[in-house]
Amino acid sequence: MLYLIQIMVDWNDCQKHLGISFRQESLLELAFVHPSYLNENPGFAGSSNERLEFLGDAILNFIVAEKLYEEFPELSEGNLTEIRASLVCRDTLAEIAFSLKLGDWLLLGQGEEANGGRTRPSNLANAMEALIGVLYLEQGLARARRFIFRQLKPRLDKIKVGKRTPNYKALVQELVQGQKRPTPVYRLVETAGPDHSKQFTVEILVEGEVVGNGTGKSKKAAENQAARAAWEKLRCSHG
């Protein structure tokens, strides 16, 4: 029954919502096929969106790197890498995908559907990358570039006026997950000062090893500082 319902998705409605016309509707559909859907619908003729996700990720990284290189000639390689990572990380892509309502068109297995798959950040980010892959294949790099810049414009504008605030906790988690390591753990190690002016010190551990520490006027601020230290250390040590 699930297959019959989801295979009738109105892809014309999807195109109207995105403001983009696609020549190959089947390719657009492919961008939204979660692996769980194939597991429960062996009769489905297509594949999952994983290959398109791979392609879209590479295109996104290239286009953002090119833009940052042109826009910020004064920044070092390290700063450019930091900004790019914050723009293409899972959390950023998931936020954009959520604003575009990409979850409405995801083709999911029953289990993934029941467990909130339509709003799961990883699913949304993957669909976003897959959609970029489709745009590139169908309409070329220039069209993909325009789409990406339109979605990232508010964040790029903030960077230009010096208001960039990379989400280091998200960046560290993504980096560690890419290395197939356990989720980082944050540990409060010290609270000092009077109640009206406390200072918190936090460590971040990966597999029991302290990879960064930070201090701030709140635990959140201390965690962000620790995450930044960990990001710089882990990025350098793993190239």
User: How far, in Å, are 7, 58, 156 from residue 72 at the CA level?
Assistant: 45, 21, 11
Going from N- to C-terminal start, the domains of the chain cover 2-160, 168-237
Residue 202 CA from chain centroid, whole number = 25
* Residue 5 pLDDT > 50: no
The answer to whether domain 2-160 and domain 168-237 are alike in fold is: no
Polymer length of the chain: 239
Burial 138-173 (b: 16+ CB within 10 A, else e): bbeeeebbebbeebbeebbeebeeeeeebbbbbbbb
What strands, in cross-sheet order, belong to the sheet with 209-216? Answer: 185-192, 199-206, 209-216
* Residue 190 pLDDT > 60: yes
129's CB contacts (< 8 A; 6+ apart) are 52, 53, 56, 57, 60, 93
At 237, the pLDDT band (50, 70, 90 cuts) reads low
Specify whether the CB–CB gap between 203 and 186 falls below 8 A: yes
Specify whether the CB–CB gap between 6 and 107 falls below 8 A: yes
Average pLDDT taken over every residue of the chain: 88
* Residue 163 pLDDT > 60: no
R_g (Cα) of the chain, nearest Å: 20
Which range is least confidently modeled, 77-86, 188-197, 228-237? 228-237
Which is more confident, 53 or 234? 53
Token pair for 118: 């339509």
> Distance between CA atoms of 123 and 129, rounded to whole angstroms?
10
> Distance between CA atoms of 124 and 126, rounded to whole angstroms?
5
* Residue 173 pLDDT > 80: yes
- Long-range CB pairs of 50-53 (<8 Å, 24+ gap) are 50/126, 51/133, 52/129, 52/130, 52/131, 52/133, 52/134, 53/126, 53/129, 53/130, 53/133
Residue 40 is predicted with a pLDDT of 84
Residue 234 is predicted with a pLDDT of 82
Closest CA relative to residue 201, chosen from 184, 185, 168, 225: 225
Residue 8 is predicted with a pLDDT of 64
Q: Which CATH number applies to 168-237?
A: 3.30.160.20
At 236, the pLDDT band (50, 70, 90 cuts) reads low
Q: Which CATH number applies to 2-160?
A: 1.10.1520.10
* Residue 60 pLDDT > 90: yes
Q: What is the mean pLDDT of residues 6-21?
A: 83
Which range is least confidently modeled, 6-15, 98-107, 188-197? 6-15
Residues with catalytic roles: 57, 129
Token pair for 44: 């489905």
